Chains A and B, each alone.
Chain A
């Protein structure tokens, strides 16, 4: 198989998986899902590292390093903020339930 056909196959399958995985999400989780998906595209860090690793002139290196910083902010910040949101969804709920039952 031609290499670019292989890539096209990967692309199309990823589109199908992407559609399927999120098609039935309740609106409750839209915000964390958007934030999580946002973190995943921070993986452009891999590309930024590759480009910065090959840089030979100072000019190219400094621009590439800007890309590395931006991509890391996206990747790390995205995952941390998603976790912070989800932490509230999960950990406190039993506690909240106990409180409301106590009040009734």
Chain B
């Protein structure tokens, strides 16, 4: 039994985690909140070493050192644009660790029936989270196609694996047999892959959040197996908050979580839009023409998207905005909730480029401003301004609230090519007579625009 003082210390750590999540909910307290989380984690790990009869000490410390170095290097080196992949990766390894802990606990000690349920749950959900996160990572890193992957009978395969998993889980609970539990974890890996494969590119961030909640629940269940209340509290907190966050994100995209997970099976339309775009006329212009448009406007709304981030053009767009402001142009940024690849991702990227927080508009305000805007300057965004979300019920993004750039007097797209966005569908707005396209790398285009405006 864990001594009372240690249980109290675990309680303090649990409170730290609650306050960490609370702090993360507001920009002012967010950083301190995160530090409080670190404090809780350090306290919990130190207490564990003190009260548990920890053998193999030098091996364990070495393993922690390796993990810490790997974690810090990844976390420090990764570009802000690759944040979603990294979160997916960290989430996956956490899920994997939870599954391993449950399997080892089963193999090492006699376990009571309620704990067997928890072991089966952790082994299954932990592996689903591990494999699912690996696939999301591959999709976001573009190691594989970002489009939904479906194959004939895929739906039956998923349900088949799920049914097999449930049967195996029941068998594990009944027998406590270790090889069966390992088989259950393998089935979980299979189900994780099948779960994420049919999810289309734009929906992947929501799946990360869902898998995050899964890992949380797996950790909570492993806490039950180990009689460790801290793991129960921390895991449950993440499970609950992750579920809410998943719903909030899905709402921002006008989707339900089930339609994201199973939409590709039902509609099949997610696989692609009309490929009619190739030979239709578009109006493209040089930087000088666009500079005139922008320089003599009274209100410009910038709509930044993932393309801006990829081109590392946050600073260039800020310079251009400053220049326009010096000419008396009113500039603001319209931030779609899922701009970038993860909800809130674009805010992080623009903050990195010193864009004043006051100029960022959330969607509702932005749509009001777009009605009176002279120019909507769309930099590397596509799906979040695609009117197909309002007009074509077959489109995978149908129903997603979008930024109404088509309400502005003129629309300028800075684009690399005519390639469709992450969701893989054509944007009708590109062919609108009020739309001007400026092709090229976002950063170069913005720099050219800035120098053209200086020469006006």
Contacts and interface: CB of A to CB of B under 8 A. Distances in A.
Given A18-B239, A42-B90, A45-B97, A11 B30 contact: no
A99 B323 CA distance: 12
A34 B245 contact: yes
A47 B231 contact: yes
A7 to B, nearest CB: 6
Which of the listed residues A15, A28, A92 has the most CB atoms from chain B within 10 Å of its own CB?
A28
A53 B356 CA distance: 50
B34 A65 contact: no
Interface in A1-39: 4, 7, 10-11, 14-19, 21-39
Interface residues of B, number: 116
Contacts of A36: 20-21, 24, 33-34, 37
A52 B63 contact: yes
Interface residues of A, number: 84
B41 A43 contact: yes
B34 A18 contact: no
Contacts of B232: 7, 10-11, 14
Contacts of A51: 101, 104-105, 108, 226
Main secondary structure of the interface of B (DSSP, over half): helix
Interface string B13-40: 1000110111011111011011101101
A81 B63 contact: no
A74 B249 contact: no
Interface stretch (B196-204, B340-348, B417-425): B340-348
Nearest to A51: B104
Interface of chain A: mostly helix, strand, loop or mixed: helix
Interface stretch (B71-79, B154-162, B187-195): B71-79
B54 interface: yes
A14 B53 contact: no
Interface in A72-101: 72-90, 92-93, 95-97, 99-100
B59 A61 contact: yes
Contacts of A95: 354
Contacts, number: 380
Given A14-B233, A70-B93, A77-B90, A44 B98 contact: yes
B180 interface: no
A69 B97 CA distance: 8
A96 B355 contact: yes
Contact of B245 (A22, A44, A53, A92): A22
B52 A50 contact: yes
Interface stretch (B214-222, B264-272, B392-400): B214-222
A85 B24 CA distance: 11
B326 A103 contact: yes
A79 B37 contact: yes
A37 B245 CA distance: 10
A68 B90 contact: no
B17 A40 contact: yes
B5 interface: no
Contacts of B66: 69, 72
Interface in B72-113: 72, 74-76, 78, 80, 83, 86-87, 90-91, 93-94, 96-98, 100-101, 103-105, 107-109
Contact of B342 (A22, A34, A61, A79): A34
Given A75-B41, A100-B325, A100-B356, A38 B67 contact: no
Given A38-B94, A55-B108, A80-B72, 19 more contacts: A21-B22, A27-B337, A27-B362, A29-B344, A31-B343, A40-B17, A41-B94, A45-B41, A46-B45, A53-B60, A70-B97, A74-B97, A87-B31, A88-B348, A90-B28, A96-B354, A97-B356, A99-B354, A100-B359
20 contacts: A18-B240, A18-B241, A22-B241, A29-B26, A38-B87, A40-B21, A40-B37, A41-B212, A45-B97, A46-B44, A52-B63, A71-B97, A72-B63, A74-B97, A79-B41, A82-B34, A83-B31, A89-B351, A93-B356, A100-B356
Interface of A: 4, 7, 10-11, 14-19, 21-55, 60-61, 63-90, 92-93, 95-97, 99-100, 103-104
